[in-house]
């Protein structure tokens, strides 16, 4: 589970990212989920968007993809969403540590 500091850090990293995942009029299908899974494995942080013709909203797409790929939703704004999943074997993104109480 990401804390607010970690989410803010990931949002700042995502600013420069290209949108690599597009959910279109066919909605969410296994191919889109597979693409998201492959991209998360390679990059850890991805940006996606949902076209107006899609039968699902960006928050629905983000929630379903994150559930099926064991990722976390960093942010959903308008038609865009950002997903993060740490690569256990070879992490590329080092998150700020959680504060200890």
Task: Report pTM.
Answer: 0.92
Total residues belonging to the chain: 101
Residue with tokens 């998150």: 95
Task: Give residue-wise pLDDT tens across range 8-28.
Answer: 999 999 999 999 999 999 999
Q: Is the dihedral of CA 39, 72, 75, 98 positive or negative?
A: negative
Dist CA 65 CA 17 (whole Å): 19
Determine the average pLDDT of the residues in 53-74: 97
Assess if residue 93 is contained within a domain.
no
Q: Interior CA angle at 96 toward 14 and 43, to 5°?
A: 40
Assess if residue 100 is contained within a domain.
no
CATH number at residue 78: 3.30.110.60
Tally of domains in the chain = 1
- Please give the residue range of the domain that contains residue 74: 4-84
Assess if residue 96 is contained within a domain.
no
Assess if residue 94 is contained within a domain.
no
Q: Interior CA angle at 100 toward 72 and 66, to 5°?
A: 5
Task: Give residue-wise pLDDT tens across range 23-43.
Answer: 999 999 999 999 999 999 999
């Amino acid at each position: 589970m990401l804390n607010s500091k970690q989410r803010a850090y990931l949002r700042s990293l995502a600013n420069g990212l290209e949108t690599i995942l597009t959910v279109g009029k066919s909605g969410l299908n296994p191919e889109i989920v597979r693409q998201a899974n492959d991209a998360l494995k390679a990059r850890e942080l991805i940006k996606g968007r949902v076209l107006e013709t899609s039968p699902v909203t960006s928050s629905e797409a983000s929630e379903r993809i994150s559930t099926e790929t064991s990722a976390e939703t960093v942010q959903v704004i308008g038609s865009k969403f950002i997903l993060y999943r740490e690569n256990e074997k070879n992490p590329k993104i080092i998150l700020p540590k959680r504060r200890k109480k």
